Chains A and B, each alone.
Chain A
């Protein structure tokens, strides 16, 4: 039926026979798209008297917002921490390849590196929209070098630094430029980290705690100064201790400023975290309602913090994928190090120290679903809504709400990606014959 639209002549696509993730649950609803954004069909019907130009039968698929990977070090032979001549084509290759994993936006991540690497690489990373050429780039994630030597993991010790006299100036000099930086991971126990955290937060950069031996109060202080993320929870930090839970204690801390949520990244590749630990984190920080303390503070209540909250979940799935992801087992580089891939395990060559993963985002989502027994909605949100909320972009990414960017996936019931869409255009489709 011909459309009669008063607002725009752009074609309208209606995706039918699907279940979409909206308002936190899977619903039998059609998805409408126009000009790269999710369209409100009711408004179209009543205000514009418009209707769809194309109807696409999704054959019962699940439609979810595109995945957002905020920690990915490279893949398919490309290492984001290596300053090569063809760095740009490397990042283009990865952004194109990860479309098949359901990733529509990502933060290319650099591990601890010497300043020269930052100075050469960062200017070559630009924030850009995704499309047929590949997933969108939200900005760089700089994991290090201001981390703890004791929790370096696979990061090269000789590049690890503390804040010199200038603190924030020192950080600026190390990185060269913060123009396209979206996230910085640092260890809050480093002297003068508080002011650095405040400066970064002021500039809209998300500060994450990781590769650290901080105790809980140091971590809480960092959160009070603006930190909002924990880099791969459990890995490269002090283990939970009942008298000092360390960074892990942020999951249930009562010192989080009101209205703030602390997010935590998890590599759910089945290697980095035991499924039981995944479940502990998920259950301690489940999707739930905040319970504010109501009424006057009388008696015992006067001694308690005014908000005793079960915050809604801040779990963010990340891949922490390295150059070897997507390649055959064997040796690959990760920044200044050589790593060895054996199946799903990646170690610093010759050791048993884990170094990144070769998991893909969709595999992480499936593993998380299976290990925690959570709902499909929760698993999907951990890879889409929560990273969007972490970066403060949930008004346009990470959801299928009206007017948000039409970056979405078609998945089967087992959460295998069948097709990837960016700005309403199909940018990848599962080959029916292949895998």
Chain B
């Protein structure tokens, strides 16, 4: 694993955005050769999305030949509800970039047959040639997407009931009213994300520190599903100082010492203008 530690939220967001930008450009996407990106929601990736939008608006990055697959979506929330993940992705990303709407895939939480919807999503990923880079976050309970504690580490896209920790964490988006928070969601499985050729997990803030510790310094455990990525050949954890608060000093020092290696991945920052 690579553990990339930046000083604060803004720097972590920028590093992650630069990495994604470079990966896309180096891939040289074109007609019939799309770069497939897995995408998260929540407050953590907002800064990263903002930077990606900035690169796009500067003309350095185009999403014309990028296909995206979001991790999850609430069940039963109307698609145009301000807290649905469709609304999130539209407002925070899609409306600012040049992605083809046919290439932006998000699970439909209002589908008549939810499992069929999940199976179709897996098929779409397969037809797109698999995911080149899956970007994700981590919940305070160590979950990846909505793979709550106890989820099989080989799981695929399916319907999940949300854990209380997750509902509590999401209440802030629903006027603090627990009764308004959806209790079920469709989510990619741990196995689905493990199939990606590369995985990048964004973790910022002290409230995520314990989950990060459990994910990388303890064993692989279905109670902390992000720990599954210890067995993935190409995973990068991008975090800020606060997220490292529960790690061993030794771990932090080792990876900080590697920053000059890590930074070669984002510097130079490529631009599509050169092409």
Contact = CB atoms under 8 A, between A and B. Distances in A.
B31 interface: no
Contacts of B91: 42
B253 interface: no
Contacts of A112: none
Nearest to A30: B95
Interface string B6-41: 000000000000000000000000000000000000
Nearest to A46: B86
Interface in B56-104: 64, 79-80, 86-87, 90-91, 94-95, 98, 100-102, 104
B95 A46 contact: no
Contact of B80 (A1, A4, A42): A42
B102 A45 contact: no
Contacts of A51: 100-101
B95 A41 contact: yes
A260 interface: no
Nearest to A41: B95
Nearest to B106: A46
Interface residues of A, number: 13
Interface in B82-134: 86-87, 90-91, 94-95, 98, 100-102, 104, 106
Contacts of A30: 95
B79 A46 contact: yes
A271 B147 CA distance: 68
A133 interface: no
A44 B102 CA distance: 11
Interface string A380-396: 00000000000000000
Contact of A49 (B64, B101, B106): B101
Interface in A37-62: 41-46, 48-51
A46 B103 CA distance: 11
Contact of A50 (B79, B80, B86, B101): B101
B22 to A, nearest CB: 24
Interface in A47-106: 48-51
Contacts of B90: 41-42, 45-46
Interface string A222-264: 0000000000000000000000000000000000000000000
Q: In this complex, which of B94, B101, B104 has the most chain A Cβ atoms within 10 angstroms of its Cβ?
A: B101
A4 B64 contact: no
A45 B80 CA distance: 12
B100 A1 contact: yes
Contacts of B80: 42-43
A41 B90 CA distance: 9
A51 B98 CA distance: 9
Contacts of B64: 1
Nearest to B98: A1
A43 B101 CA distance: 11
Interface of B: 64, 79-80, 86-87, 90-91, 94-95, 98, 100-102, 104, 106
Q: Which 7 A-B pairs have the closest CB atoms?
A: A49-B101, A42-B90, A45-B101, A49-B102, A46-B86, A51-B101, A1-B100
Given A1-B100, A42-B87, A42-B90, 8 more contacts: A4-B102, A30-B95, A42-B80, A42-B86, A46-B79, A46-B86, A51-B100, A51-B101
